[in-house]
Amino acid sequence: MRMSPLCKALLTAGLLTSASFAHASNLVYCSEGSPGGFDPGQYTTGTDFDAASETVFNRLAEFERGGTKAQPALATSWDISEDGLTYTFHLREGVKFHTTDYFKPTRDFNADDVLFTYQRMLDRNHPFRQAYPSEFPYFTDMGLDKNIAKIEKTDDMTVVFTLNAVDAAFVQNLAMNFAAIHSAEYADQLLKAGKAAEINQKPVGTGPFVFSRYQKDAVIRFKGNTQYWAPEQVKIDNLIFSINTDASVRAQKLRAGECHVTLNPRPADLQSLQADKNLNVPSEPGYNLGYIAYNVTRAPFDKREVRQALDMAVNKAAIIDAVYQGAGQLAVNGMPPTQWSYDESIKDAAYDPEKAKELLKAAGVKEGTEITLWAMPVQRPYNPNAKLMAEMLQNDWAKIGIKARIVSYEWGEYIKRAHAGEHDAMLIGWTGDNGDPDNWLGTLYGCDAVDGNNFSKWCDAEYDKLVVAAKRVTEQEQRSELYRQAQAVLKREVPITPIAHSTVYQPMRSSVKGFEISPFGRNSFSGVSND
DSSP state of 369: E
Q: Beta strands 279-280 and 283-284: pairing type?
A: unpaired
| Residues 466/482, Cβ–Cβ less than 8 Å | yes
Query: Domains plus CATH for the chain?
Result: 1-38+46-52+207-283+505-531 (3.40.190.10), 57-199 (3.90.76.10), 288-502 (3.10.105.10)
Kindly give the confidence (pLDDT) of every residue in the chain, 531 residues in length, as a single tens digit, with 9 standing for 90 and above: 344 444 544 444 444 433 334 457 999 999 999 999 999 999 999 999 999 999 999 999 999 998 888 999 999 999 999 999 999 999 999 999 999 999 999 999 999 999 999 999 999 999 999 999 999 999 999 999 999 999 999 999 999 999 999 999 999 999 999 999 999 999 999 999 999 999 999 999 999 999 999 999 999 999 999 999 999 999 999 999 999 999 999 999 999 999 999 999 998 899 999 999 999 999 988 899 999 999 999 999 999 999 999 999 999 999 999 999 988 999 999 999 989 999 999 999 999 999 999 999 999 999 999 999 999 998 888 999 999 999 999 999 999 999 999 999 999 899 999 999 999 999 999 999 999 999 999 999 999 999 999 999 999 999 999 999 999 998 999 999 999 999 999 999 999 999 999 999 999 999 999 999 999 999 999 999 999
Question: Which amino acid belongs to residue 265?
Answer: P
CA distance 512 to 27: 8
CA distance 328 to 266: 12
| Residue 285: per-residue pLDDT | 84
CA distance 451 to 144: 14
CA 435, 436, 440, 446 torsion-angle sign: negative
Question: Which amino acid belongs to residue 340?
Answer: W
| Residue 377: per-residue pLDDT | 93
Which regions of 54-174 does DSSP assign to beta strands (E)?
61-63, 70-72, 75-80, 86-91, 148-155, 158-163
CA distance 173 to 87: 13
Identify the bridge partners of residue 222 per DSSP, sorted by sequence position: 211, 239
| Residues 452/404, Cβ–Cβ less than 8 Å | no
CA distance 515 to 523: 9
CA distance 232 to 226: 10
CA distance 240 to 25: 11
| Residue 368: per-residue pLDDT | 97
| Residues 436/172, Cβ–Cβ less than 8 Å | yes
| Residue 13: per-residue pLDDT | 41
CA distance 526 to 147: 32
Identify the bridge partners of residue 427 per DSSP, sorted by sequence position: 292
The length of the chain, given as a count of residues: 531
| Residue 327: per-residue pLDDT | 87
Instruction: Using alpha carbons only, give the angle 291, 140, 54 rounded to the nearest 5 degrees.
Output: 75
| Residue 16: per-residue pLDDT | 46
